[in-house]
Homo-oligomer: A and B are copies of this chain.
């Protein structure tokens, strides 16, 4: 069973939302209080998915607002060098800063993030800065949930979704739930439902779907609810137990999680999404696309960054093949 994403447009994916700086502890396996140096990477779910997709060969664009400072320029340079189109990138002129995430890696099981998200530039993207002509040039629009957490970024995303619908651009909603930027769980549920009901594909963890539905739920309830609306394909990730894809016509697919030497848990979702989407664009069936997502996630969690570490097609396919060979002999 395939799900067609490809269309004759300039871009395969345009991602909209935040692009920030990750400051990853250079020395790990210790509390951040004892970390003395930090290494700088581009971070933020939608830009990470754009980076991952671009590395896998998709034609990718990014819409977001960057601070007018050294961190903002670093991000712009970095993604341009990867071949991501930055026509939709706006420079903030109001003095807002780049969001920061200091990551602390005490152990594979104990990771935490210290966020700087007050008045960050990405949440100041204005609806007037989302361009209709740009949106109509893409096959898919990837929306990340965090961009809905505050105005005016919230309205910019709602406008982008509305324009996508108008121009038959498929909407992919990556739930990407980060509690620190939201006022309340109830508010999150309202906007998540608004966008999910209008999306073609919704991707998230089981916990994130619980936030969207504002209840502790089961996959069967989730799909019963969402398939009443526009979604065609729903991907629900259950961590080490693997992930599931559901289609509106009633199919259900499953993939295990690939075992790896985990360094940290950050970045797993972004690498999953980019590889899953890449596989659909490449004409793979949904079941195979789930494998690509899982394999890509497993590669990123074994490495130090979330963006730099995004794998190539080759790396993903080698992991899948190696795993299948090994399974033969088990």
* Residues of A near any B CB (own CB < 8 A): 23, 26, 31-33, 35-40, 69-71, 73-74, 77, 97, 100, 102, 104, 114, 116, 118-119, 126-128, 151-152, 155, 158-159, 162, 183-184, 186-187, 190-191, 193-194
B33 touches A73 (CB 8 A): yes
Copies of this chain in its oligomeric complex: 4
A155 touches B186 (CB 8 A): yes
What is the CB-to-nearest-CB distance from A220 to chain B, in angstroms, rounded to a whole number?
18
B186 touches A127 (CB 8 A): yes
Q: In the complex, which of the residues B37, B118, B151 contacts A39, with contact meaning CB atoms closer than 8 Å?
A: B37
Contacts of A31 in B (CB 8 A): 70
With A127-B186, A193-B162 already in contact, the answer to whether A37 and B33 are too (CB < 8 A) is no
Contacts of A77 in B (CB 8 A): 33
With A186-B127, A190-B127 already in contact, the answer to whether A114 and B70 are too (CB < 8 A) is yes
B39 touches A36 (CB 8 A): yes
Other CB < 8 Å A-B pairs besides A32-B70, A97-B118, A159-B190, 13 of them?
Answer: A38-B38, A69-B114, A70-B102, A70-B104, A70-B114, A100-B100, A127-B190, A128-B184, A152-B183, A152-B187, A158-B194, A162-B193, A194-B194
25 A-B pairs whose Cβ atoms sit less than 8 Å apart in the complex:
A23-B38, A32-B71, A32-B74, A33-B73, A35-B40, A36-B39, A37-B39, A37-B40, A70-B102, A70-B114, A71-B114, A97-B118, A100-B100, A100-B116, A116-B116, A118-B118, A119-B119, A127-B186, A127-B187, A151-B151, A152-B187, A155-B187, A155-B191, A158-B194, A159-B190
What is the CB-to-nearest-CB distance from A179 to chain B, in angstroms, rounded to a whole number?
12
Q: Who on chain B is nearest to A115 by CB?
A: B97
Contacts of A191 in B (CB 8 A): 155
